[in-house]
Structure 1
Amino acid sequence: KERANRERPHLDDKILTSWNGLMISAFSKAYKVLGSEKYLKAAKDAAGFIMSNLYDQITGKLYRRWREGERAVLGMGSDYAFFISGLIDLYESDSDKKYLETAVLLSEEYLRLFYDEKYAGFYMTSQEHDKNLIIRAKEDSDSVIPSHGSVAIKNLLRLSKITGRADFGEIAQKAIEAALSASTFHPALFPYMLAVICDMEIESAGS
């Protein structure tokens, strides 16, 4: 009884686009392997929520978080990259073209906002986030969660193959070359990117 009267600790109940993107990928892959409809439904429900509430189809903008009926904060690079990845995985599991079409539109917006046209690679923030930032940083490694740049490279390569968009593949290749030639590059810091490169080499050898 006394426990029920205690003030409950704070509950973090916000919905994040980036984390939902990771979840959509996981459940889409689980459906492909296990065939359980509950996994596909979970992925579709999450994608539908993000597309309805955190994606502005008029402006093309993706937002970062939702809480108590309010969307806020323009999406970071990770929000775009992880959600695009989830949409591609969901398209490959469900074959609904709306997921592919949205992934393409978001990829175009992602490149506009985060791609470094001069040196290749991808910024973590866009110029629309905070005009007071002295520099715009790039993630220089994969960690427990892959860097959004590594995920973006894989997204672009996959979309290039699915849609025939050569420009996506060319940008991905430039980003890979920039990462490999950077003075800060160390293989141990980029496991996800190296896995993407290995997959690309295997596909090239088999074609």
Structure 2
Amino acid sequence: MSSPVNTKGKGWGIAAAACVGLWLVQNGSADVTPPVPTAAEAFAAGPHEHTGAAAAPLPPSVPVRLRIPEIDVDTPVMPLGLGADGSLDVPPTGDRNIAGWYKDGTPPGARGTAIMAGHVDNAQGPAVFYALGALRKGHRVEVVRTDGRTAVFTVDAIEVYDNDAFPDRKVYGQADRAELRVITCGGGFDRRTGYQGNVVAYAHLIGVREPS
């Protein structure tokens, strides 16, 4: 199955170039870089490992807010489209506290693979997904939707990939349950070319909180 973001497999590397580590460059150091997931947080049984029971998918509804309590993320969500080259657009670099959702793909909580992305830093400092690589299996991700429901996901794995080896099919391929990918830049930093890869958190739906 081809990627819903870029069928040629080139899009995310282009999109990731938008967060090149300006904060690190301006501070003259690459010593304080974002957390990188350990091998222990990768999939143990291949890309289609199912970790625990899954909740029934919800009807589609647009996401409006994303919360990841373990890394203190509580951010509004904006829709993202595709650029002229077929790559995923990214949120504005000037706003550190905003995540994006691929609006032509699966809404979080519905059946399939929902894609959310955000910057790791900008010129002012760490951004919304700076600590994404510090997540662990079993941590929770919550997505508030326009229908008032909160879709609750559990993290199955956190993996890091080089820019030239990003596994489009594994990350973007559609699922038979409600799954979520949260993506940012990472995987080492070079002062000339910026971040060398991407961090991806894989999660699946385990429950829903109804509006009070």
Which TM-score band (shorter chain)? Answer: under 0.3
Greater RCO structure (CA 8 Å; 6+ sep): 2
More strand by share: 2
State the TM-score, normalized to the length of structure 2: 0.22
- More helix, by proportion: 1
Q: Which has the larger radius of gyration?
A: 1
TM-score (norm 1): 0.22
